[in-house]
């Protein structure tokens, strides 16, 4: 079984090491990486070096570091692309330069860590399936960053809306495979560590349902058979896996996704 990680502080989960899930990967996001203005992370410039140094200096050698730098926060200086509602994508060299600079800085401080950016290359939206030629062009432009990482962390969040994936799970798995293919092509030899989330992403984002309600959690929950199909597809193609959870939802030991995950871990 490949190594599977879960961030305990996201979703307040219990210790899952007895089941074979690890918690010792390091998560560095906006609150960990950037200076704050009135307690809001400001990602319009360079990182807060003392803060990041404090996070990485205590880590064991070989620790995977999950860099969650989403460009839309704090002015978007770190974004490697901008896009519009029509799916048009514009590459941003400035964002890639900042990301490359951060990788170089961390390696200078801790050359023994394993680094990867969440959601690079981006697989969000319909561009991967509906306009694959435009998406491939973007991936080629961001390839220097992909090759500089120790591992790639594609984002595999799934939608129930048939308007996004008319063929349902088949479309979802094709969406995953195109990202695997691109990473194998443009970053050969680099590990692939997807991040997966056992909820329906579009329903979680539904503004008509508040995430803290039981109704919303039940609505978003992915059925066990769907989660099993996703794991059956993703696990054999991956070098490791990060499991994400909704930060505001309490841990549910009887959740279908967790029963399926335990079955996989038991082999």
Query: Domain residue spans in the chain?
Result: 4-266
Task: Give the DSSP H or E segment for 6.
Answer: strand 4-6
Alpha-carbon distance of 217 to 215, in angstroms, equals: 6
Distance CA 209, CA 13 (A): 23
Query: What pLDDT is stored for residue 127 in this prediction?
Result: 63
How many angstroms separate the CA atoms of 208 and 186, rounded?
A: 40
* pLDDT at residue 45 tops 70: yes
> Measured in whole angstroms, how far is the alpha carbon of residue 55 from the centre of its chain?
19
The predicted pLDDT at position 151 comes to 96
Q: Residues 88-116: pLDDT tens digits?
A: 678 889 999 999 999 999 999 999 999 99
Look at residue 10 in the predicted model and tell me its pLDDT: 57
When pLDDT is averaged across residues 161-186 and rounded to a whole number, the result is 88
Q: Does the domain formed by 4-266 have CATH 3.20.20.70?
A: yes
Q: Write out pLDDT tens, residues 143-160.
A: 999 999 999 999 998 888
What's the whole-model pTM score? 0.90
Q: Is residue 240 over pLDDT 50?
A: yes
Detail the DSSP E strand segments found in 163-234: 191-192, 195-200
Residue 73 predicted with pLDDT over 50: no
């Amino acid at each position: 079984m490949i190594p599977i990680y879960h961030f305990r502080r996201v979703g307040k989960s219990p210790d899952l090491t007895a089941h074979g899930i690890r918690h010792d990967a390091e998560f560095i996001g906006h609150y960990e990486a950037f200076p704050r203005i009135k307690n809001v992370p400001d990602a319009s410039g360079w990182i807060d070096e003392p803060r990041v140094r404090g996070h990485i200096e205590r880590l064991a050698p070989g620790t995977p570091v999950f860099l969650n730098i989403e460009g839309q926060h704090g002015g978007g200086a770190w974004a490697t692309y901008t896009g519009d509602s029509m799916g048009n994508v514009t590459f941003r060299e400035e964002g890639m330069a900042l990301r490359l600079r951060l990788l170089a800085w961390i390696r200078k401080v801790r050359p023994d860590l394993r680094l990867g950016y969440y959601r690079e290359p981006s697989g969000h939206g319909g561009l991967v399936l509906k306009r694959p030629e435009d998406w491939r062009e973007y991936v080629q432009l961001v390839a220097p960053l992909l090759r500089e990482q120790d591992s790639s962390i594609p984002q595999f969040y799934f939608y129930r809306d048939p308007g996004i994936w008319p063929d349902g799970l088949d479309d979802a798995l094709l969406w995953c495979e195109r990202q695997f293919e691109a990473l194998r092509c443009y970053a050969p030899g680099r590990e692939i560590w997807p991040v997966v989330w056992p909820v329906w992403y579009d329903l979680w984002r539904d503004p008509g349902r508040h995430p803290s309600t039981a109704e919303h959690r039940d609505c978003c929950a992915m059925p066990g058979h769907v989660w099993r199909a996703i794991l059956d597809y993703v696990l054999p193609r991956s070098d490791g896996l990060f499991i994400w959870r909704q930060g505001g939802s309490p841990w549910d030991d009887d959740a279908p996704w967790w029963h399926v995950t335990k079955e996989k871990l038991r082999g």
